[in-house]
Structure 1
Amino acid sequence: MTLRYQSGFGNEFASEAVEGALPIGRNSPQRVAHGLYAELLSGTAFTAPRAENRRTWLYRRQPSVVTGAFAPCAQPWLKTGAKDGVAAPPDPLRWHPLPVPENEPLDFVDGLRTVVVNGDADAQTGIAVHLVLANRSMTRRAFVNADGEMLVVAQQGRLVITTELGVLEVSPGEVALLPRGMAFKVAVDGPTRAYVCENYGAPFRLPELGPIGSNGLANARDFLAPVAAFESEAGDYEIVKKYGGALWGARQDHTPFNVVAWHGNLVPLKYDTARFNTIGSISFDHPDPSIFTVLTSPSDTPGTANCDFVIFPPRWLVAEDTFRPPWYHRNVMSEFMGLVHGQYDAKPEGFKPGGMSLHNCMVPHGPDTEAFAKATGAELAPQKLDDTLAFMFESRWRFHPTAWAMEGGAIDAAYAECWAGLADGFKP
């Protein structure tokens, strides 16, 4: 299947799968063409400033109110907000990659495993970070997250994400942004692993560029939205809704993917990180990691984000008389990292694709002994970092690991040993 897309971030999109289904000049006419229903999905308050207001009009075969009663759903690994974390020491933490189970059938929802949490979904602050371990597709099942939007970072295996507005195909190296409250399902074609940032705060947006100017980092035109598509197969559907930190299930006698036309700016998007225009130093010193920000969820404190999504893609290093890896530091922001593929330059050993690390607020961290020795002894010629893609979810709120993360067997108990060789070299 060849998919079509529309490009842009924050654009006012319009799409119809049947000609004439999209009203012209009005949002909710007395009678919608083709016997469809008009429905509004609002991602912000009605009175949010025009530049920040996000909403999409859907023209569908049946409105989303046509569903059965919800009952609790069991999923013991999915957690929400700081209240669901456990006490953890102020140590750097790292997890080995977890294999996708072979003998347990897991789709996207069943395979969600919460690693760290902060904030409060009801207060609309903070995020959770989940790992997805999936080996089967969602078929007559859909997921609706009423708590937050979801940023999905594919790491192993291709995802085909069917949403109410159309279909996104997401491969490792690409990410998908799924709006809060929009139904979706995920198909996989083998053992699949992905990272998910569940954002309860302000919706992700492109960061301001400041002195960089009008170009650089992630370009709006490289974000792709789907075109309208709807399912026509009859039959029941299970709807799983995340609401107030818990999962609820209901059954309905038709597909939720029945939107024939739509227009608006609250849309699912995909982005290929290979299109990121990296900015770096061409004189001296290693610049702050903020220059690698793809998306940001701002907080009420300017410059101190609820969440930043940052990537470390292939790039040239040319700075003179400079320690080129990230410097040793302690940060007021808390940093959760993952590795999609290749090698991270500050941790050549121990940090593997599919793995994770956590350096909370004011927890010291930086290059391991091997990276330090290599960086301080290298001849400083232009160097290309290739075959690498790491990312970071950075938040102003301290992360709380879950019991599963601390007790699930993947934690790297020897992580701190990677700095043991950093001896006192002071020579007065």
Structure 2
Amino acid sequence: MADGDQLKYLSGFGNEFTSEDPRCPGALPQGQNNPQKCPYELYAEQLSGTAFTAPRHENKRSWLYRIRPSVIHLPFERVTSTRLVQKWSENPPNPNQMRWLPFKLPGDDEKVDFVDGLYTVCGAGHPSTRSGVAVHVFLCNTSMEDKCFYNSDGDFLIVPQEGTLNITTEFGKMKVAPNEICVIQLGMRFSVAVSGPTRGYILEVFDGHFQLPNLGPIGANGLANPRDFLTPVAWYEDRDVDSFKVVSKFQGHLFQAEQGHSPFDVVAWHGNYVPYKYNLANFMVINAVEFDHCDPSIFTVLTCPSARPGTAIADFVIFPPRWAVQEHTFRPPYYHRNCMSEFMGLIHGRYEAKEEGFLPGGASLHSTMTPHGPDTLCFEGASNAELQPARLADGTQAFMFESSLSLTVTTWGEETCHRLDHSYYQCWQTLKKHFNPARKNQ
């Protein structure tokens, strides 16, 4: 069977998809989801991402037609881990601006796979109440072998920064490279293969699922277009093994069960609850053409809304290459205090408002109501530059995880990782007073 990068993808965000492995034509039952006997004597299994009674336009579920049902495994046992944390009281809160140097990759003498390389940086809430978010990084160099992972707590939005992820899911395969993202939703089993040092970021949401933001006055077109989201086609392996490890993240803890076969044995599936990927280069930027600086919300790719209209549990926002054509205005991000929390990462290049110190593979966190904005170099340059149409962020891709929740940094994020830049605050200390009551700028 072809590798994941050779498989065709099904296109379109949130649609009802049908897919079957071409080796078994007609594997999808016709006319009913759960017949007395499925074609090829497969088992029917439903994966529900919402309550059965959720409104039709919100209801998420897929039917999987597989060689064995996923219930065939030995009991789960607790796996001790200090890397994944969802008990935020273990580390005292810190309102300071924080910036991390690039998170360290495993050394050549270590073998660390995707699951073993997961580290929690910050978060809020708890999965047992299905409310909150967590931000993780993954730092690995080895493929998962006879091992899969699924998250019982929420959705993973995965942002590769270095190295390509070859992801096998129950629905098929996806190849996700830097400047692409993927979303593996609640309960979906997957395995990650890598070739060499691999690093990236993860935004986890405990309540709801990611969706496209409403466009409002923008109209029908713009930002991330539904047709550019891709989900894999069905692919199965019928493989018996001595011990296949199934790792579950449940209420913030890891558990492991063993079974004697590969869980990637889904021959056909249909539904609207699927893993998917998106190329950030396809984002259609909306920009000002007169004056002032639009809020970063115009760069939202995906959102997980809260019960409060217009307020997100989490937004995924990017700052892609674009034209800047404003007149008589301050073009970079303005100085700001926000009721939201802002965690930023850099995939490649140099971020326009922090060209020094904010590095690919690193991050920053500006917590609720903590002031932030351009450093001195950026402010002085932008205030005195000739305003003419200009390209911004060519060769650069920064992003932001924004949340209405107040995020607490873990002990690993603040201390153990040894990547926190304690000099970050200094980038604003050289901002000068320019005020002169005898002179008014025109």
Say whether the fold is shared (TM-score over 0.5): yes
Identity %: 54
RMSD value over aligned CA atoms?
0.9
Find the partner of 2:118 among 112, 115, 127. 112
Residue of structure 1 in register with 2:436 after alignment = 427
Deviation per CA, 1:96-140: give whole Å up to 9, x if none: 002211122110000001100111111211110101000000020
Question: d(CA) in 1 for partners of 2:128 and 2:216?
Answer: 32
Deviation per CA, 1:216-275: give whole Å up to 9, x if none: 000000000000001133213100001111100110001111100000000000000000
The offset of 1:75, in angstroms, is 2.1
Residue of structure 1 in register with 2:395 after alignment = 387
Tell me if structure 1 keeps the 8 A contact 2:94–2:409.
no
SS in 1 for 2:51: coil
The offset of 1:81, in angstroms, is 5.3
TM norm structure 1: 0.99
SS in 1 for 2:131: coil
Residue of structure 2 in register with 1:101 after alignment = 106
Gap change, CA 1:51 and 1:83, over 3 Å in 2: farther
Tell me if structure 2 keeps the 8 A contact 1:310–1:393.
yes
Tell me if structure 1 keeps the 8 A contact 2:119–2:136.
yes
TM norm structure 2: 0.95
Query: Where does the alignment leave 5 or more consecutive residues of structure 1 unmatched?
Result: none
Residue correspondence of structure 1 range 117-136 to structure 2 within 5 A? 117-136=123-142
Question: d(CA) in 2 for partners of 1:147 and 1:83?
Answer: 19
SS in 1 for 2:312: coil
Tell me if structure 2 keeps the 8 A contact 1:81–1:127.
no
Are 2:378 and 1:354 equivalent residues in the alignment?
Answer: no
Question: d(CA) in 2 for partners of 1:74 and 1:191?
Answer: 24
Find the partner of 1:321 among 325, 328, 337. 328
Tell me if structure 2 keeps the 8 A contact 1:81–1:126.
no
Residue correspondence of structure 1 range 221-300 to structure 2 within 5 A? 221-235=227-241, 236-300=243-307
- AA in 2 matched with 1:232: D
Residue of structure 2 in register with 1:87 after alignment = 92
Gap change, CA 1:391 and 1:81, over 3 Å in 2: farther
Residue of structure 2 in register with 1:15 after alignment = 19
Question: d(CA) in 2 for partners of 1:88 and 1:121?
Answer: 20
SS in 2 for 1:306: strand
The offset of 1:88, in angstroms, is 3.1
Residue correspondence of structure 1 range 19-58 to structure 2 within 5 A? 19-58=25-64
Deviation per CA, 1:136-192: give whole Å up to 9, x if none: 000200001000110000100000010000001000000010010010000001100
SS in 2 for 1:119: strand
Question: d(CA) in 2 for partners of 1:76 and 1:66?
Answer: 29
Are 2:207 and 1:198 equivalent residues in the alignment?
Answer: no
Are 2:181 and 1:172 equivalent residues in the alignment?
Answer: no
Moved more, 325-334 or 75-84: 75-84
The offset of 1:89, in angstroms, is 2.5
Question: d(CA) in 2 for partners of 1:388 and 1:379?
Answer: 22
Are 2:382 and 1:342 equivalent residues in the alignment?
Answer: no
Question: d(CA) in 2 for partners of 1:366 and 1:391?
Answer: 15
SS in 2 for 1:405: helix
Residue of structure 2 in register with 1:415 after alignment = 424
Question: d(CA) in 2 for partners of 1:233 and 1:38?
Answer: 19
Q: Structure 1 segments of 4 or more deviating over 6 A? A: none
The offset of 1:79, in angstroms, is 1.1
**How many residues in Structure 1 have an aligned counterpart in Structure 2?**
427
Question: d(CA) in 1 for partners of 2:381 and 2:234?
Answer: 52
- AA in 1 matched with 2:19: S
Moved more, 222-231 or 115-124: 115-124
Tell me if structure 1 keeps the 8 A contact 2:303–2:315.
yes
Deviation per CA, 1:283-311: give whole Å up to 9, x if none: 10110000000000000111110000000
Query: Where does the alignment leave 5 or more consecutive residues of structure 2 unmatched?
Result: 438-442
